[in-house]
Amino acid sequence: MAARTIKIAPITRIEGHATIAIHLDDAGNVADSKVHFQSIRGFEKFVEGKPAEELPRIVNRICGICPWHHHLASNKAVDRCFGVTPTPAGHKLRELVQTIAQAEDKLLHFFFLAAADFVIGPDADYAVRNVIGIAKANPELATKVVQMRYKAKMILEKFAGKAIHPVAGVVGGFAKPLTEADRQWMLADMREILDFALFTIEFAKKDVFPKYLDAIQSLGVIKTGFIGTVDDNGALNLYDGKIRLMKPDGAFADFDVQNYADYIGEQVVPWSYGKFPYAKSWNEGFSLDLENPKGIYRANTLARINVADKMATPRAQAELEEFRSLFGRPAQATLLYHYARLIEEVYACEHAIELLKDPSITDTDVRAKVEPRAGRGVGCVEAPRGTLIHDYSTDDNGLVTRANLIVGTTHNLGPINMSVNQAARALIKDGVADEGILNKVEMAVRAYDP
Amino acid sequence: MPAKIASDWLNACSGCEIAIVDLGERLLTVLGLVDFVHLPALMDHKYYGQTGQGTHIEIPEADVGIISGGLRNAEHLEVAEEMRKKCKAVIALGTCATHGGIPALANSYENSAIFSRYYSTETTAPNDGTVPGDGVPELLDRCYALDEKIAVDIYLPGCPPHSDQIFEALTAFLEGRSPDLAQKSVCDTCPTIREGKGKLKQMRRFLEAPHYGAPDEPLDRMRCLLEQGFLCMGPVTKAGCGGNRVTPRCISARVPCRGCYGPVKADGNQRLDMLNALASNGIDLGSLPETTSMLRFSGAHHLLGPARQ
């Protein structure tokens, strides 16, 4: 048998553009594998010279699945450049829309992108192993999923004008207040979506995860640290708080995101346009070695669930306790990202309801007065795909002179390479790599929802 | 027989594909009428065969190909050419595909300047400046709109296009008729009040809220944002962003238009047209902080280029 390279291109049912190359040796076993991240658009360069207050409407185009998170991290960075604090109602409205966007995103990922591997099966024909196949096999569930995700999305569109590539976050706060009538219908809609979130996690715990316990314990499993955002009580927070960077053994350090550059570095690798972040503060360098990785930590749902001491809402807290009793803290198994995603879904729905129950969210003072000026600001939120950092500097006229971005997904680029390498080595033997096996390698990527 | 659709995303963000998902229950209707043969966002058809044995990109034949995103690298170009070869009709979905979109802001710079900034930011570990080249497609010299490289049959701009328009384009295609898409400007569909510009001489940046009455005051009681002195690209931007509800989406958030549907006429120049409109109304163009942003959605077709040395 001659050495050869297996190409998985494109990786499908993910948001970005990436391919996998698996290099087999003469015996048909895995010598090496690489995940190639193919996009470079140059936002860090081409935002230079633009008025900073326009950036939240430019950088949201980094991602059409999570534009709200780029939009709001950017708004926070601009606030800080211009030295303005959003009004309380402006702050609350931003947090509300971000939380609802999180709730919508998790339904999208679980049902539209990931579920086919579990509900239809990893070895099924690709023509049916997708959301279209689910719609044909289980039209009732599919209709409910489509309705609920649409409902969450339309809350954003009806209230904030534009749901994809939003515009309603503005420097100093929010573009429009929430009326009492808006508050009431949004509350009713979010309660319905919470019910569906609770149904979804029960459905997954009962009908989906138990069938894949072996895969969960083995597929793409690696040992790394984790990053996420927590509030002052150590509870998971998606919108604001301090950054917690946890080592593989569970020890952690908390820091203010303004100082992120002291903690996070980015490694350039020859096989990817995307850079690979690593924990600079651990002072151990960067290595993707499966046995002995260095500087490698993960972001996104499992990471946030791991770094948080607790969840701030009751149903999500109960789910976290059950999860921890099964998998410990920090849980390392890669497919548990899906489970963690559904716990966060419950939290996002509960928290959106909490925010909407607060009548002061309808305060009409939604936007603080602001003057452009020279400054520097780092804005951060938890995007669905991980800790999202926008760092800008401005000149006296408030034009951007410098931008640095660390995008949620990128934290996981190194770990994705490791998980693929682990999965490929475990699954491909003696040159046998059929479609089902290659799809299982991709499942190690999909868990990260890149 | 159901119509066959192939769909791919190139120099894109996935927002157009999410706009398709945002058809809501209409998505299930569409899925009942068509067969997707290639759709990387949602299904697992592979370029090089399902086990990766092929040597070149292959996409199944289809009645219509939907492409989002412009062209930025060699693989985008190969996919676009293969789609053109295999699809009877090609739809350019979204402003990146029709006019370059936000990523074409990169056309103001040489590739080397983009690489050099990205690989030397303050958090990037020291490196020798070699641009990654192993297994990643080489960049084209700039970001192109689709029709700069392949023939396009239907243009569906928008960042993203409204789901109502995507539905109209797909159903029109299935029924064998031309889609009924707005050809007017955003202003033609905007309900705000226009009274003339009055004494306005300066444009203001969007650093404060526009004037309107109570929070629930209807938009047709609010004064035009441009007449309030806020730069609004509505006059030079194609309508349609409001979908069947018509009202422009940004305006409904009381935020000015930035031009995401591209120029009213496909070959228009949003910056030039807007500057002309402002100047002919006696607005001091010096009050604008910069003008590149006026082409933020339509910088392909050679409209944006690196500054001459």
The predicted structure's pLDDT at residue A326? 96
Residues of chain A whose pLDDT is less than 70? 1
Residues 321-360 of A with CB under 8 A from B: none
Mutation for testing the A interface, residue in B31, B43, B288 having most A CBs under 10 Å: B43
Average pLDDT, rounded, for chain B:
95
Residues 182-241 of B with CB under 8 A from A: 205-209, 215-216, 241
Distance from CA of A428 to the nearest CA of B (A): 12
The predicted structure's pLDDT at residue A376? 98
Q: Is B232:B256 a contact under the CB 8 Å cutoff?
A: yes
Q: Is A43:B11 a contact under the CB 8 Å cutoff?
A: no
Nearest-Cα residue of chain B relative to residue A42:
B114
Helix A336-357, helix A88-107: angle, nearest 10: 150
B38: which strand partners? B6
The predicted structure's pLDDT at residue A15? 87
Cα distance between residue A112 and residue A89, in whole Å: 34
The predicted structure's pLDDT at residue B307? 85
Q: What are phi and psi of A87, to 5 degrees?
A: -65, 160
A44 token code pair: 């860090």
B265 token code pair: 């006429």
Residues 273-302 of A with CB under 8 A from B: 273, 275, 277, 286
> Cβ B132–A272 below 8 Å, yes or no?
yes
The predicted structure's pLDDT at residue B309? 53
> Cβ B249–A161 below 8 Å, yes or no?
yes
> Does the residue A307 lie in any domain?
no
Residue with tokens 């979010």, as numbered in its chain = A190
Residue with tokens 């607060």, as numbered in its chain = A358
> Does the residue A105 lie in any domain?
no
Q: Is A116:A135 a contact under the CB 8 Å cutoff?
A: no
Q: What are phi and psi of B303, to 5 degrees?
A: -75, -30
Residue B161: cis peptide before it, omega within 30 degrees of 0: no
C-alpha pair distances (Å), A300 with each of A203, A227, A408, A413, B287: 22, 8, 7, 12, 43
Cα distance between residue B112 and residue B148, in whole Å: 22
> Does the residue A28 lie in any domain?
yes
The pLDDT tens digits for A24-67 are 999 999 999 999 999 999 999 999 999 999 999 999 999 999 99
C-alpha pair distances (Å), B82 with each of A292, B8, B62, B67, B79: 43, 11, 11, 11, 5
> Does the residue A27 lie in any domain?
yes
Residues 123-162 of A with CB under 8 A from B: 126-127, 129-132, 135, 139, 142-143, 146-147, 149-150, 153-154, 157, 160-162
Dihedral-angle region of residue A24 (phi above 0 means left; psi in -120 to 50 means alpha; beta otherwise): beta
Q: Is B142:B106 a contact under the CB 8 Å cutoff?
A: yes
Residues 377-406 of A with CB under 8 A from B: 397-399, 404, 406
> Does the residue A178 lie in any domain?
no
Residues of chain B whose pLDDT is less than 50? none
Of A190, A113, A68, A213, the residue nearest A447 (C-alpha): A113
The predicted structure's pLDDT at residue A6? 95
Query: With contacts defined as CB-CB under 8 Å, which chain B residues touch A150?
Result: 22, 24-25
Is A80 in CB contact (< 8 Å) with chain B?
Answer: no
Q: What angle do CA A85, A87, A91 make, to 5 degrees?
A: 90
Q: Which amino acid, residue B186?
A: V
* A·B CB contacts under 8 A: 261
Query: With contacts defined as CB-CB under 8 Å, which chain A residues touch B21?
Result: 108, 112, 149
Minimal Cβ distance to B208: which of A8, A58, A369: A369
CB neighbours of B278 closer than 8 A, spacing ≥ 6? Answer: B203, B285, B288
Counted domains in chain A: 1
The predicted structure's pLDDT at residue A450? 84
> Does the residue A250 lie in any domain?
no
Cα distance between residue A14 and residue B3, in whole Å: 25
The predicted structure's pLDDT at residue B249? 96
- Starting at the edge strand that comes first in sequence, how are the strands of the sheet with A386-394 ordered? A375-383, A386-394, A400-406
> Does the residue A10 lie in any domain?
yes
Strand, coil or helix: what is A245? strand
Cα distance between residue B116 and residue A42, in whole Å: 10
Dihedral-angle region of residue A130 (phi above 0 means left; psi in -120 to 50 means alpha; beta otherwise): beta
Euclidean distance between the first and the last CA atom of chain B, given in angstroms as a whole number: 58
CB neighbours of B194 closer than 8 A, spacing ≥ 6? Answer: B224, B227
> Does the residue A441 lie in any domain?
no
The domain of A24 spans 4-36
Domains defined for chain B, CATH in brackets: 3-103+135-175 (3.40.50.700), 182-302 (no CATH)
The predicted structure's pLDDT at residue B1? 77
Q: Write down the ipTM of this complex.
A: 0.97
